[in-house]
Copies of this chain bind each other. A is one copy, B any other.
């Protein structure tokens, strides 16, 4: 009889399609039977983490035998001090992906509607689907999130959650804090506002001037994966209303953050000088990428992140460019919904940028027959 057994499974999950938000570069390498030599698709920091973080982790490796502090207190206290926000409002967890899942779980019921941008960070839709929410996706207005339309849609559909990445991924563009504030005020009063600031360290501080900062709907998401160079560590944090933080506390994985990651994040967070170096170097790299894109007839989107989205003119050419770069062992990504005419390339270190320029020139030439003629 047991071999005939059928577990019933949760029907919501049983009926989901089998998709992952991203296929990792390692899986692509296994498929194609050779490694990438330029890994520019996941917006990891190719400048690496602070040397102080590296040193702190190296010294602490044997401590990996011990569970991390489930309250993540030292890191939360440091963030609280620097941000001037009560420590009770800081939620540390295993990256923004983890926080998105927790937030969607505590904020929504199956059937509730969330508003986001068509083509925005796929993990948001992954978690929304995973918890049975419905999704209203607003097209980009060119290279920008359409904040007016997001607010209007949220009111129209009585959304319980709105998601905005600022700076945006995958376009790299940003809007200033006043625009974000206007959106916040346009949202229904029981609609949570998830403001994904994964790339905020690369952006002007005006981005972050959202008022009121203690609006009970406003939940900001930050990460150590980008500017801090700790993508593999899995640490991110939310600045949330206390009520939201308490709700997450009831369901989060209390021992979910790696002990070495806690140590790395704290050391990286305290090394302001290194962060400044990274931000400056990435800004330089963005300028080089932008000049390259203009030279090759692929206009760069204005970026306040550690990547540049190039306008390939058409979905067809964007696909061809991504495939051709893959053949040249360059891992990049492109949105598969929304602004599908873009390819998105992480800013490398200077050697990586040189190598990318050579291969990008060749890929552009190889796909030139697909270039859209300027009218």
Least Cβ distance of A1 to chain B in Å? 6
**Is B45 within 8 A of A65, CB to CB?**
yes
Q: Which residues of A contact B (CB under 8 A)?
A: 1-11, 13-14, 16-24, 26-27, 30, 39, 42, 44-49, 54, 57-58, 61-71, 73, 94-95, 97-98, 101, 105-109, 130, 160, 184-185, 189-190, 192, 212, 215-217, 225, 229-234, 241, 243-244, 246-247, 249-251, 253-261, 264
| A1 and B250 in contact, given A45-B65, A160-B8, A232-B66 (Cβ under 8 angstroms) | no
Least Cβ distance of A29 to chain B in Å? 9
Q: A69 — which chain B residues lie within 8 A by C-beta?
A: 24, 26-27
A239 and B231 CA atoms in complex are apart in Å by 27
In order of increasing CB-CB distance, the 10 nearest A-B pairs are: A232-B259, A26-B69, A24-B70, A5-B189, A258-B258, A64-B232, A130-B251, A65-B229, A67-B231, A16-B250
**Is A255 within 8 A of B65, CB to CB?**
no
A95 and B255 CA atoms in complex are apart in Å by 9
Q: Among B18, B27, B107, which residue has its beta carbon within 8 angstroms of that of A73?
A: B27
A189 and B256 CA atoms in complex are apart in Å by 33
Residue of B nearest to A69 (CB): B26
A106 and B2 CA atoms in complex are apart in Å by 20
**Is B109 within 8 A of A27, CB to CB?**
no
**Is B18 within 8 A of A244, CB to CB?**
no
Least Cβ distance of A307 to chain B in Å? 14
**Is A65 within 8 A of B108, CB to CB?**
no
Q: A212 — which chain B residues lie within 8 A by C-beta?
A: 2-3
Q: A48 — which chain B residues lie within 8 A by C-beta?
A: 62, 65
Least Cβ distance of A213 to chain B in Å? 11
Least Cβ distance of A185 to chain B in Å? 7
**Is B70 within 8 A of A10, CB to CB?**
no
**Is A108 within 8 A of B215, CB to CB?**
no
Q: A21 — which chain B residues lie within 8 A by C-beta?
A: 254
Least Cβ distance of A226 to chain B in Å? 10
A66 and B346 CA atoms in complex are apart in Å by 12
Q: A250 — which chain B residues lie within 8 A by C-beta?
A: 13, 16-19, 130
Query: What number of copies of this chain does the assembly contain?
Result: 2
Q: Among B46, B101, B189, B251, which residue has its beta carbon within 8 angstroms of that of A65?
A: B46
**Is B66 within 8 A of A44, CB to CB?**
yes
Task: Please indicate which of the listed interface residues A54, A130, A217, A234 has the most CB atoms of chain B within 10 Å of its own CB.
Answer: A234
Residue of B nearest to A214 (CB): B3
Can you report 20 A-B residue pairs in the complex whose CB atoms are below 8 A from each other? Answer: A2-B212, A5-B215, A5-B216, A6-B216, A7-B241, A8-B190, A16-B251, A18-B250, A22-B254, A22-B255, A26-B71, A27-B69, A27-B73, A30-B73, A49-B65, A64-B261, A67-B231, A130-B250, A130-B251, A258-B261
Residue of B nearest to A8 (CB): B190
Q: A39 — which chain B residues lie within 8 A by C-beta?
A: 66
**Is A232 within 8 A of B247, CB to CB?**
no
Least Cβ distance of A263 to chain B in Å? 9
**Is B20 within 8 A of A249, CB to CB?**
yes
Q: Among B13, B109, B253, which residue has its beta carbon within 8 angstroms of that of A105?
A: B13
Least Cβ distance of A111 to chain B in Å? 12
Q: A244 — which chain B residues lie within 8 A by C-beta?
A: 7
**Is B65 within 8 A of A109, CB to CB?**
no
